Chain A
Amino acid sequence: MKNISAFGKYIIFITRVFSKPEKTKIYLQQTIREIESLGINSIGIVIIISIFIGAVITLQTRYNLESSWIPLYLIGLTARDTILLEFSSTMVGLILAGKVGSNIASEIGHMRITEQIDALEMMGINSASYLILPKILATMVFNPILTIISMVVGIFGGWMACIVTGALASSDYIYGIQYWFIPFYITYALVKTVVYAFIITSVTSFHGYYVQGGALEVGRCSTRGVVYSSILILLADVVLTQLMLA
């Protein structure tokens, strides 16, 4: 029962977020600012994680395929497809839910408990739309770029692992990552990323927007926002995979 009413509240919140902006120019400026604070500032962590996971995926595949009759270039192919299909969209999505999501929830929650949101409302501004629409747009536009960066860097990380450990010849790996390439996998990953971006931003800002109490509650709402958005990301992963790949 509580969940149903929370869902209803979420839907009302979302319609409010997407109602007509007061002044388009200011919203665009805000969106650009959010791209910087939520998107550009996440490039570093995405690169670091993608390099290492790319390397690990490649090495694990290599050591699990010891039998001699499997051609070695299939290792490059498997690493590539794992990165394209799942890692760069879903894993990166979960990491961003932690980083960007907690940032959003605590920022909005802080504004709520210090009455800054009330102050916006009192000026006749639709605070939900003013604060959150730019964040949603910024992440939906920029997270796909992060995903592409992650794909490139992840595959590069796998190649580095081959060179450094000598587990696989560089030529096999390079042949493998080009072999039987399916461009639709990229579309699939980007569609997932856009949906995840919407989930992360809207769910965590929803939790921040309706927080009550003090600093302690802001901390709690940010944790709850991250947990809920992570679960929803995994749920969306299953649904989208069935819809797009079946």
Chain B
Amino acid sequence: MIEVEHLYKSFAGVNVLEDISVTFERGKTNLIIGRSGSGKTVLMKCIVGLHEADRGAVIFDDRNFVEMSFTGRKELRKEMGMMFQGGALFDSLSVEENVIFPLNLFTKMPYDEKRERANICLKRVNLDNVNKLYPGELSGGMKKRVAIARAIVQNPKYLFCDEPNSGLDPKTALVIDDLISEITHDYSITTVVNTHDMNSVMEIGEKVVFIHQGFKCWEGTREEILDSDNEYLNDFVFASNFAKKIKSLTSKNS
């Protein structure tokens, strides 16, 4: 479980996050949704300490991350896996080496076992026969999938995914969503996913937090989303005219 308490963050005097308090539960896929530029990535990076929050606390199962020392944080980070928006794969390493990388540094596994573990993870994200390719030779969606494989290779207790399926075709996006939700339930980890894809929200959003211009605007489950009367949320969820029409039709019928 991750508890975020009264988190503030600003860049050069501009407030990006204001008074965010939210709890991400264990064994559930927690989604952070919001328009582009609303502060999702910044919030995620504040939670994992890549951005220093101005104020507030982030508590990982009773351990206050914000107050920890450099070494303490390093240890706690070994329990986290993170997939970045752009993939952040190491350019100089092949796909397989990228996935094996965390194992090399922190385990004493023999090489064959490490490779096997990497291959299992790559299979889970539907990647075959790319082991020897370099990140420069992959498509954007493939990079994301390798990044997810790398994030889960160490069996993390906390998994963070920044827009895991933006730029993927709907079918692969679904596979990724299911994969994330499967891992979350199988190993009972605390998963936080940034997204602005409504398909993912409806598919895997067990808990949904809506961020609007740096404020937490709404939170609830995916079922509650459609009936909410929060103006900003409705604006986000029913962004297209098509969706608005469907909503007005269904509400007339009921």
Interface of B is mostly: mixed
Contact in complex: A122, B90 (CB < 8 Å):
no
Report the Cα distance A122→B154, complex, angstroms.
12
B86 proximal to A (CB < 8 A): yes
- How many residues of B are counted as interface, with CB atoms below 8 angstroms from the partner's CB atoms? 25
Contact in complex: B74, A118 (CB < 8 Å):
no
Cβ contacts under 8 Å, A123 to chain B: 77-78, 101-102, 105-106, 154
Contact in complex: B105, A22 (CB < 8 Å):
yes
Shortest Cβ distance from residue A16 to the other chain B in the assembled complex, whole angstroms = 8
Given contacts A115-B86, A118-B84, contact A126 B105 (CB under 8 A): no
Contact in complex: A124, B88 (CB < 8 Å):
no
A47 proximal to B (CB < 8 A): no
B64 proximal to A (CB < 8 A): no
Closest to B84 in A: A115
B91 proximal to A (CB < 8 A): yes
Contact in complex: A116, B77 (CB < 8 Å):
no
B82 proximal to A (CB < 8 A): yes
B149 proximal to A (CB < 8 A): no
Report the Cα distance A26→B106, complex, angstroms.
11
Contact in complex: B77, A122 (CB < 8 Å):
yes
Cβ contacts under 8 Å, B85 to chain A: 115
B4 proximal to A (CB < 8 A): no
List A residues 11-69 near B (Cβ within 8 Å): 16, 22-23, 26
A6 proximal to B (CB < 8 A): no
List B residues 43-78 near A (Cβ within 8 Å): 45, 48, 50, 70, 74-78
Report the Cα distance A115→B82, complex, angstroms.
11
Contact in complex: A126, B74 (CB < 8 Å):
yes
Of A22, A110, A114, most B-chain CB atoms within 10 Å: A114
B80 proximal to A (CB < 8 A): yes
Cβ contacts under 8 Å, A232 to chain B: none
Cβ contacts under 8 Å, A22 to chain B: 105-106
Report the Cα distance A61→B76, complex, angstroms.
64
Contact in complex: B77, A119 (CB < 8 Å):
no
Cβ contacts under 8 Å, A126 to chain B: 74
Closest to B147 in A: A119
Partner of B50, one of A16, A118, A124, A125: A118
Partner of A114, one of B80, B88, B104: B88
Closest to B45 in A: A118
Cβ contacts under 8 Å, B101 to chain A: 123
Cβ contacts under 8 Å, B75 to chain A: 124
Contact in complex: B105, A26 (CB < 8 Å):
yes
Given contacts A23-B105, A116-B91, contact A122 B80 (CB under 8 A): yes
Closest to B154 in A: A123
Report the Cα distance A22→B77, complex, angstroms.
14
Cβ contacts under 8 Å, A110 to chain B: 91
Report the Cα distance A122→B88, complex, angstroms.
11
Contact indicator per residue, chain B 79-109, by CB within 8 Å of chain A (1) or not (0): 0111011101111000000000110111000
Cβ contacts under 8 Å, B80 to chain A: 122
Contact in complex: B105, A121 (CB < 8 Å):
no
7 extra interface residue pairs, beta carbon distance < 8 Å, beyond A115-B84, A124-B74: A16-B70, A23-B104, A26-B104, A114-B88, A118-B45, A122-B48, A123-B77
8 sample A-B contacts, Cβ–Cβ < 8 Å, listed by A number: A114-B91, A118-B84, A119-B84, A122-B48, A123-B154, A124-B74, A124-B75, A125-B105
B-side residues, CB < 8 A to A, are: 45, 48, 50, 70, 74-78, 80-82, 84-86, 88-91, 101-102, 104-106, 154
Nearest 10 pairs of A and B residues by beta carbon: A124-B78, A115-B88, A124-B77, A119-B88, A122-B82, A115-B84, A123-B102, A124-B74, A118-B50, A116-B88
